[in-house]
């Protein structure tokens, strides 16, 4: 017998979840037959190849603890499924390349490896186990962030340096967050923070803040001439901030228990249009307006063009896009 199944994942960050699996004879494995055949492999601290496909005699994966090897696999498999479902159901895109074909994930990369990364060459994503091998980087937003690098390279192709590199990183943070909201998971709730679950700083603080990117001590809240020469994970700040302002507006707001306070660089207020419209605008711009060398000025033009097509150039949405870019010092 060979068939598509749904198993149970006992994850580290997202509680007990349903996973897409495959039964092959008397064993089960982490192959998501309903999502392009996305597979999840155990590198068992290796750093090359695929290691072994997670498989076992029952369709229950992990126990919520990082010391159980299956736990990180369950988190990664869940994050990949959510990202697949998000792009399919929200944006009508079937898989990272839009061709219905799944990628694959690798967990337990290296020893104490504190990063996760997407690779176009293997069409796969990889997760380290974090400091002490106790904080795998397998949260929902990180999964969505990494897989979005694959979407970006198969659409706009934003070059990963200079201002286009900042826009590439911001695109991954934006859709990493929207995937997290889409998941509607009660353990790993949706927010405009990146990496709040994986404790990369050791003090419970997130890696990045979209409402006010400078809270991380390095990212920029607003564009300035020369921003293209800083690290792309910091030059992403103005675009992350733009997306927050466009979605939620300026000022103070509490969402899912997190309080945000988003300033604007021009001191003028922005009225948010909601995340559901903002994510449509960014996706349409990414896939039909942005190119490999899009910079901040061109991102403003591209998102305005996308907004005009979606909502009209005299709409409140169009004005909000103008105001949100002005609020991060782009094209005032």
Please name the residues in contact with 40: beta carbons below 8 A apart, sequence gap of 6 or more.
30, 53, 54, 73, 76, 77, 80, 104, 105, 106, 107
What are the DSSP calls for 57-80, one per residue? SSSEE--SSTTSHHHHHHHHHHHH
CB of 117 to ligand ASN, least distance (A): 4
Closest by alpha carbon to 101, among 124, 117, 118? 124
Q: Is 219 in the site for Zn ion (CB under 5 A)?
A: no
Nearer to Ca ion by Cβ, of 54 and 209: the residue is: 209
Q: Using the minimum distance from each CB to Ca ion, give the nearer residue, 144 or 327.
A: 144
- Residue 118 beta carbon to Ca ion: minimum distance, rounded to whole angstroms: 17
- Active-site residue (options: 38, 91, 145, 146): 146
CB closer to ligand ASN, 117 vs 123:
117
Angle between helix axes 162-183 and 140-153 (nearest 10 degrees) is 130
Phi, psi (deg, nearest 5) at residue 124: -150, 160
> Would you count residue 240 as binding Zn ion (CB under 5 A)?
no
CB of 184 to Ca ion, least distance (A): 13
Rounded to a whole number of angstroms, the minimum distance from the CB of residue 142 to ligand ASN is 7
Give the one residue of 32, 141, 146, 317 binding ligand ASN; rule: CB under 6 A: 146
Name the residue with tokens 């150039």.
313
141 binds Ca ion (CB under 5 A): yes
Structure letter (DSSP) for residue 132: G
Judging by DSSP bridges, how do beta strands 31-32 and 60-61 pair with one another?
Answer: unpaired
Should residue 21 be labelled a site residue for Zn ion when binding is judged by CB under 5 A? no
The answer to whether 172 contacts Zn ion (rule: CB under 5 A) is yes
With binding defined as CB under 6 A, does residue 117 bind ligand ASN? yes
Distance in Å, CB of 161 to ligand ASN, minimum: 12
CB distance 149 to 169 below 8 Å:
no
- Does the annotation mark 146 as catalytic? yes
Assess contact for 193 and 257: CB atoms under 8 A.
Answer: no
Does 141 bind ligand ASN (CB under 6 A)? Our answer is: no
Query: Of 193 and 222, which CB lies nearer to Ca ion in the complex structure?
Result: 193
Binder of ligand ASN out of 24, 68, 115, 154 (CB under 6 A): 115
- Which of residues 186 and 225 has its CB atom nearest to Ca ion in the complex? 186
Q: Which residue is nearest to Ca ion (CB)?
A: 141
Residue 282 and residue 297: Cα distance in Å, rounded?
Answer: 15
**Does residue 279 belong to the site contacting ligand ASN (CB under 6 A)?**
no
236 forms part of the interface with Zn ion (CB under 5 A): no
Residue span 56-95 as binding mask against Zn ion, x where in contact by CB under 5 A, dash where not: ----------------------------------------
169 a catalytic residue: no
Helices (H), the chain: 69-91, 140-153, 162-183, 232-235, 237-248, 275-288, 296-311, 316-326
Residues 145 and 103: their CA atoms lie apart, in Å, by 14
Contact residues: Ca ion, CB under 5 A: 141, 180, 191, 193
């Amino acid at each position: 017998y060979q068939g598509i199944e749904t198993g149970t994942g006992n994850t580290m960050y997202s509680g007990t979840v349903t996973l897409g699996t495959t039964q092959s004879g008397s064993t089960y494995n982490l192959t998501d037959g309903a999502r392009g055949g996305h597979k999840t492999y155990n590198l068992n601290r290796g750093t090359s190849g695929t290691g072994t496909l997670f498989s076992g005699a029952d369709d229950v994966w992990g126990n919520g603890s990082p010391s159980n090897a299956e736990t990180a696999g369950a988190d990664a498999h869940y994050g990949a499924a959510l990202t697949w479902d998000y792009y399919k159901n929200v944006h009508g895109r079937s898989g990272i390349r839009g061709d219905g074909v799944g990628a694959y994930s690798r967990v337990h990369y290296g020893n104490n490896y504190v990063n996760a990364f997407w690779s176009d060459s293997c069409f796969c994503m990889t997760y380290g186990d974090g400091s002490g091998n106790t904080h795998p980087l397998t949260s929902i937003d990180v999964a969505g962030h990494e897989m979005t690098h694959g979407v970006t390279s198969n659409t706009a192709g934003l070059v990963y340096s200079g201002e286009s590199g900042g826009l590439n990183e911001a695109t991954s943070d934006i859709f990493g967050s929207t995937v997290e909201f889409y998941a509607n998971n009660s353990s790993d709730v949706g927010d405009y923070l990146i990496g709040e679950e994986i404790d990369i700083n050791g003090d419970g603080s997130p890696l990045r803040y979209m409402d006010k990117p400078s809270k991380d001590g390095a990212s920029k809240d607003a564009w300035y001439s020369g921003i293209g020469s800083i690290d792309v994970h910091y030059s992403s700040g103005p675009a992350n901030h733009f997306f927050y302002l466009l979605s939620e507006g300026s000022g103070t707001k509490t969402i899912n228990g997190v309080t945000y306070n988003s300033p604007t660089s021009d001191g003028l207020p922005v009225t948010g249009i909601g995340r559901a419209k903002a994510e449509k605008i960014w996706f349409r711009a990414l896939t039909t307006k942005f190119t490999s060398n899009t910079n901040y000025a061109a991102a403003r033009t591209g998102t305005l063009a996308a907004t005009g097509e979606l909502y009209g150039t005299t709409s409140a949405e169009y004005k909000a896009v103008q105001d949100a870019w002005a609020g991060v010092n782009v094209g005032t």
